[in-house]
Amino acid sequence: MHNKNMKAIQISEPSVMKVIEMAEPQMGDGDVLLKMRYVGFCGSDLNTFRGGNPMVKMPVVPGHEVGAEIVSVGKNVPDMLKPGMVVTVNPYTNCGKCASCRNGRVNACEHNETLGVQRWGAMRELLVLPWEKVIPAGGLDPRTCALIEPMSVGFHAVNRAQVTDIDVVMVIGCGMVGMGAVVRAALRGATVIAADIDDEKLALAKEMGATYVVNTKTEDAHARLQELTGGFGPDVVIEAVGSVPTYQMAINEVAFTGRVVCIGYAKSEVSFQTKYFVQKELDIRGSRNAQPSDFRAVIHYLQRGTCPVDRLISGDVAPEQALEAMQQWAENPGKVFRILVHF
């Protein structure tokens, strides 16, 4: 094992990505050795590639959306994890000492290090992780497994919003995370309004459970929302874009005494009419990463077999083609859901 090398993908500086050789990882007693099968590129990887991700230290091996197979397990690993199993991974760490950890909300750990962001990620042939971070995929194939983590982030936001069947839920942004929110809100029986600027994404959102769709570029969003909600506005707005106008739209359009849940990182400061915070007596909540229960909920949903997985995967490339795929995505971000790298 000691001197063998494996392939990995590394972003060394903005717009520079290449296949490198790195040493194979070493295992400890509580560890699991995973063979990566599919690893997804997410929006934060795209930002890293463009040089706009403040949380990343370069050079970095990206990747935290994983479909893998267990190669071997250390001696203190529980029996439920066996070689040959298809799994996904929980890519976050938690320190156990900060306020979030003390409150049991480890997904929002102050010192969290996500694979591929604050520490080197999963875009490599082999990865060693502590067994607690390995999630059995319940019979799903490795390609589908690469969709679990981003969907779980959307599922978590719906949980943060405490959505029930009597809510009208507006999801702004129908990327992979927003799609997760659309699915989860629909599963909970809510009436879902999906908003985006791309008609293809909106059509897919409808297929995945949205009752109504609004193209905020071509339609008068305010008038349409008033019409769809009988003049009340949506009870819940989930912001899954991270831009100035979408953050403002969330606050402006949500119903009086509604809930706004923020997932998107805005790249610049956003100015608000704070009178709405008060007048509407809003609940404004952040939503970060996902909890183990969110991963379980996504796996449960995907096991139904109704998710149009193939339409969520825009490309499926070898490591050597990753740079080209990323360049195309950077040029046309609106048209891509998920690019998976196949190891």
Please report which confidence band the pLDDT of residue 52 belongs to, taking 50, 70 and 90 as the band edges. confident
Q: Distances from the Cα of 220 to the Cαs of 1, 139, 163, 241, 295, in angstroms?
A: 61, 44, 26, 19, 36
pLDDT at 160: 98
Distance CA 10, CA 19 (A): 6
Residue with the larger pLDDT of the pair 74 and 1: 74
Query: Does the pLDDT value for residue 3 go beyond 80?
Result: no
Q: Which of 156, 189, 147, 198 is nearest to 294 (CA)?
A: 156
Angle (nearest 5°) at CA 275 between 178 and 194: 20
Distance CA 260, CA 282 (A): 7
* pLDDT digit string, tens, across residues 189-225: 999 999 999 999 999 999 999 999 999 999 999 999 9
pLDDT at 44: 87
Helix (H) or strand (E) run with residue 342 in it: strand 338-342
Give the mean pLDDT of 46-71: 93
Query: Does the pLDDT value for residue 55 go beyond 90?
Result: no
Contact 101, 95 (CB under 8 A): yes
Distance CA 321, CA 326 (A): 9
pLDDT at 261: 98
pLDDT at 335: 79
- Residue that is written with structure tokens 């449960």 in the block: 300
* pLDDT digit string, tens, across residues 329-338: 999 887 788 9
Please report which confidence band the pLDDT of residue 316 belongs to, taking 50, 70 and 90 as the band edges. very high
Give the mean pLDDT of 274-278: 97
Strands 212-215 vs 191-196: parallel, antiparallel or unpaired = parallel
Phi, psi of 218 (to 5 degrees): -100, -15
